[in-house]
Structure 1
Amino acid sequence: MLQPKSSTPIADEVHWSDSLTAYDKAHFTTYMRLLDASADNASDEDMAQLILGIDVTREPERARKALRSHVDRANWMVTTGYEELFAG
């Protein structure tokens, strides 16, 4: 189930890179929480609010963009980025 957001600041959009970034490493848990919540059919609003800490009522567009960006990066992490993460 969803747990309150982490205390690590969340970017409005994840900077894309073909390799792991410092942001990825700092937000690995956030990525995994998003994937877990998504697998549990959590709503986008709940994930943005509870995991990313964005008030979806006050900032619906920011919440939507940030969530999509972080979910996309989380998916990249589990399909490609993990190789670099566990390589050493």
Structure 2
Amino acid sequence: MLKPLLDPHFADVAPTSSVLTGYDEDHMLTYIRLLDASADGADWREVARIVLHIDPEQEPERAFRAWATHLARARWITRNAASRQSAR
């Protein structure tokens, strides 16, 4: 795996591929930040602003969609990695 980018550009919607993509690799730190924020119970608007750099006041639908799809992708990656580990 290549080194993830520290502050990558974000697509409005995260990938839905059934395999890990280059976008996923570039955004691995972002996915970790989203999972941490979710575990801490952070408000999605705050996370969208800080992590995804999207202003939820100016673009509420875009901010929510980006937050929700990227968090879902982060969870998918976590589940997929866990199932691969248990299969070994």
Point out 4+ residue stretches in structure 1 off by more than 6 angstroms. none
Cα distance in structure 2, aligned partners of 1:42 and 1:11: 21
Structure 1 gaps of 5+ residues are 1-5, 84-88
From the CA coordinates, give the structure whose radius of gyration is larger: 2
Query: Superposition pairs for residues 6-25 of structure 1, below 5 Å?
Result: 6-25=6-25
Q: For the structure 1 residues 31 and 62, does the alpha-carbon distance in structure 2 shift closer, same or farther, using more than 3 Å as the test?
A: same
% identity of equivalent residues: 42
Letter in 1 for 2:33: R
Give the TM-score, by structure 2 length.
0.84
Letter in 2 for 1:46: E
Shift of 1:28: 0.4
* Amino acid in structure 2 at the alignment position of 1:51: V
Find the counterpart in structure 2 of residue 49 from structure 1: 49
Task: Give the corresponding residue for 2:63.
Answer: 63
2:3 maps to none
- Larger RCO of the pair (alpha carbons < 8 Å, separation 6+): 1
Q: Deviations over 1:8-54 (max 9, x none)?
A: 10000012111000000000000010000110110000110000000
Aligned-pair CA distance for 1:7 = 2.3
RMSD: 1.5
Contiguous gaps of at least 5 residues in structure 2: 1-5
Decide whether the 8 Å contact of 2:54 with 2:63 is kept in 1: yes
Q: Counterpart of 1:3?
A: none
Question: Counterpart amino acid of 2:73?
Answer: R
